[in-house]
Structures are given as structure tokens and as C-alpha cells.
Amino acid sequence: MGGGESLPKRIDEQIVRTVGGMNQPLARGRNLFCATLGGTARMSATEASARVSGAGLFRGALLALALAGLTLTPAPGVAQGQFSPVIKVNDDMITEFELSQRMAFLRILGAPGDIGELAREQLISEKLQLAEADFLDITVSDEDLTEALAEFAARGNLDLEQMTAFLAQAGIAFESFREFVRAGLLWREVARSKFLASGQTITESEIDRAYAEAEPQPGVKVLVTEIVLPASTPESERASMMRADRLAQITDPVEFSRAATRFSIVNSRLTKGERDWMDISTLPPEAQAVLSNAAEGRTTRPVMLPEIGVAVYYVRDRETITSTKVGTLLEYAAFLIPGGRSEATLAEAARIREEVDICDDLYPIARGLPADQLIREELPEGSVPAAYRSELAKLDPGEVSTALTSSSGNALVFLMLCNRRNAVPDSVSRDQVADGLRNQRIGALANDLLADLRAQARVEDLR
């Protein structure tokens, strides 16, 4: 590998977050992935906590396998038919054996959702990653790969020999595990060679803007009653807009509250639509536009909030804040549960909620899943996606919202607020800010590359 840099700690988490990430938002660089590209081998307190929280996963699964009486299923004994190709990715093939191996691997990691679909997406991603590495003549040494495999095993307090036995007990060939880890390492090197080596210049004005996020700024707080109507289809959006036009004519706050209880689809309907004081900068831009000049005692015009619905607000009170607001950083985790909003996904979300107290607890649940299924990042409040920002404004650290679905509607969003703090403390140097911005940019470029490879790929199911 180039540059002579040491492998990062928590290499398994790096792999989990980069393998299979076909739909990663292009503006969201994972902190660990970016740190890896920068050659950083330090482990933060958060990362150390996540290591501890996931430490018993492999041993617990091994015990479960033993109690279930599962026996070794060696790779040489696999029926010849399992090596038949089932998916064609450009000029490469994914076999039935590879697919079944990955599904078994995801099961022992406790992956939620459609295991078959997750395995399919991961393997397609890996074929594209390996092909790109081959095209660029990028390789990883046996020594580095062995070290990465050992790092992965260490997450479960296992050495590599114990990990191999654990996988064999579940019928998973060591070669399948090895290829999973190798694809992640190669993809890291692809991103490093394409983007880090070429240099990413961060201008002084960009650093100044990052610092400006933390400067005291004037703002507006509002006390509103809200009604949000469904708009998941064009038909429901049209119907909701017509109803919202009528609701916008209401001038009596009591009548508006009754309408919120009757018609609104968001959680605030349980409190007659009434929200506590909110800084309007935490709301979606569309809501900010109608509330910025809305007078006390007035109802706003209807506004369409993407991924949320059609909203109307009654302004109960407003207050101008002068030189008291500092920039805020929001650290949050968004875990996507495939299947959209349904009884099954809501039940899965409830199950996960019982298992997690802090964001670190989501790492064991997401281990082995596509990179875009668990997004954890810390961003300036204004840079958080509007729908997420609106929900996070309602939460305290450790609290969860399941009010949102993904933009495609195909996944329920398990959204958890990890922390909320002031941005850019005085102790952070301009060089550190520049490094952070550079890492975010490289992460975005790497995600963009992977998305482009998938968009251009010829993928054909052969069965």
C-alpha cells in the first residue's frame, strides 16, 4: 500500500462503512473513513466505547451456534451447483456460493432487514470495488490483509484462529471472510490514490466560513402550533394542499389546535399541535421562509416540506435573539431499516430501541451491513439535512425518532441524537479545521466515485 501509513484502528468498522455503500449521500463523509484516508491511527473516546459495546458479539454468536448444534460445513463439500453464477456485474460473476456465504455472514452478525437483498448489494459493490482497484493496479500485501483480518476478529475478543473456527462452525469459508475484508482495504486504497495523492486544497475563506458557524449570530425563535398533512403520493399531496388552504384561513388558536389533533400526522398532534420554543434555523428551509416574517397571532400559508408533508403553522409568539446564538454541532446517527414504514419495520425499530441507549450501541447492530445503512456524523446544524434537522430539534441526546423514511420511501429512518454542542472551540486550530474539511471532501469524492461505478455498471440477475 502506498504512503507507508499504518492501518487504522477499528478496521472492521472502516470496512463495514465502505463496503457496499452504493447509495451514500455524496455530501456526507464518514469520520472514520476520512480519518483513514488521512492516515490517522488514533482512537477517539467514542470509538473506544463502541469497541467495548460490541466486544461480546462474536463470542455470543459462537455460543449460540454451539447450543444449536451447528457443525462445520467445509467449503470443499459444497455442492457443485452452488458455484453457478447468479448475478453478472459487467464482466464478472457472483456465484450462488458467494451469495449464500454472505447471507450466512450477515445472519451471524444479526443484520436486520432483507438479508438476501443486503447480501446482493454488498457483493455487487465489492465486484465494482475490486474491478476499479484492478484497473488502477492497486493491491494490498498479505501482511496488511492479515493485520486487518486480525483487527476484525479482535472486535469480538477473538484471535484470527478463533475467528476462523467461529466462521467454520457457521458454515462460512475463511476465504469468504478474507475477500470481504480485502475488498474494503482495496477500496480505501483506491480512494487514497485518486483523491488524497492529487491534493485537496482548502482555501482560507472556507476555513473562515467554518469558524463563522461558531460566531454569535442574531436569530428568531418562534412558538407555533403546527399541522402537517400527508403527501407521500401526488394524489395525497394535492388533497392535502386543498385542505391546507382551508386550514390556513383559521385565525382562532383553539380551533387551529382542534384541527391539529384531528388532521395532523406528526407526533405534535398529541399535544394539540403545540411546539415548544424553536429557533427557526433548525426548521426546514421551506418552513423558515414562511415563518421568518409571520406575525404573532397569524396563520402561515401552506408549505410543502420534502420528505415530511404539507405544513401550516399558527404563530403563538415570536422572539428576536440578538448576539446570543452560537454555532451548534449536531452529532447524530441514522440507521435505515429496509422496507419503508410498515408494521414490520416499526416493530424492528422498537426492538432496536430496546437494545440501544447511546449511538455507539448501533455499531454492533450495523456490523456487516452496507455503508449507507448506518450514517453517523457530526455537522453544523445548518448543514444537517432539513428533515433530519427538524426531528433532531425535538430530541435530547440518546432520544430516538422514527417519524421519517428515506427519500425513496424504501427504508424507515431510526434517527438518534448523539450529542449537541457548540461548534469550533477556541482550542481547534485552523490546520485542524482544514484537515476536517479536506477529509469531508475526500469522503464525498469517494462516495461519488462508488455511486458513478454503480450507475455505469451492467448488472444482470441470471436466475
- According to DSSP, the residues that pair with 93 across neighbouring strands are 88
Q: Which tens digit of pLDDT belongs to each residue from 46-59?
A: 232 233 233 344 44
> What is the structure's pLDDT at 289?
82
Radius of gyration, CA atoms only, the chain: 24
Q: For residues 280 and 291, is the Cβ–Cβ distance under 8 A? A: yes
Q: pLDDT tens digits for 222-257?
A: 999 999 999 988 899 999 999 999 999 999 999 999
Could you read off the pLDDT of 416-442 as tens digits, one per residue? 999 887 655 554 567 767 777 777 777
What is the average per-residue pLDDT within 4-29?
30
Report pLDDT for 34: 30
Q: How far apart are CA 389 and CA 35, in angstroms?
A: 25
Residue 370 backbone class (left: φ over 0; alpha: ψ -120 to 50; beta: rest): beta
Annotate 22-45 with DSSP letters as a single string. TT--TT---HHHHHHHTT-----H
**pTM > 0.75:** no
Q: How confident is the model at residue 198 (pLDDT cuts 50, 70, 90)?
A: low
Greater model confidence, 9 or 398: 398
Q: What is the arithmetic mean of pLDDT over 337-363?
A: 94
176 closest CA partner among 102, 70, 76, 71: 102
- Average pLDDT on 376-393 reads 86
How many angstroms separate the CA atoms of 61 and 180, rounded?
19
Lowest-pLDDT range of 171-175, 267-271, 399-403? 267-271
- pLDDT, position 7: 29
> Residue 72: what pLDDT?
33
Total Cβ atoms within 10 A of residue 454: 17
* Model confidence band, residue 17 (pLDDT cutoffs 50, 70, 90): very low
Residue 162, CB half-sphere, CA atoms under 13 Å: how many? 15
- The one-character DSSP state at 156 is T
Question: How confident is residue 39, by pLDDT bands cut at 50, 70 and 90?
Answer: very low
- What confidence score (pLDDT) does residue 319 get? 84
Q: What is the mean pLDDT of the chain?
A: 77
What domains can be seen in the chain, in order of their start residue?
2-201+451-461 (1.10.4030.10), 216-325 (3.10.50.40), 328-425 (3.10.50.40)
> Sorting pLDDT into bands at 50, 70 and 90, what band is 201?
confident
The more confidently predicted of residues 244 and 206 is 244
pLDDT at 114: 84
- Assign 380 a pLDDT band (cuts: 50, 70, 90): confident
67 pLDDT above the threshold of 70: no
Strand-pairing partners, residue 313, are 226
Query: Residue 218 pLDDT > 70, yes or no?
Result: no
pLDDT above 90 covers a percentage of the chain that reads 40
pLDDT of residue 351: 95
Hey, which of 15-19, 107-111, 328-332, 373-377 has the most confident mean pLDDT?
A: 373-377
Q: Which pLDDT score, from 0 to 100, does residue 63 have? A: 38
Q: Where are the alpha helices (DSSP H) in 82-137?
A: 96-108, 115-135
Average pLDDT over residues 23-38: 28
Task: Tell the burial category of 68 from Cβ atoms under 10 Å away from its Cβ (0-12, 13-18, 19+).
Answer: exposed
For residue 199, the model assigns a pLDDT of 59
Maximum C-alpha span of the chain: 76
Q: Does pLDDT of 368 surpass 90?
A: no
pLDDT tier at 381 (50, 70, 90 boundaries)?
A: confident
CB 31 within 8 A of CB 377: yes
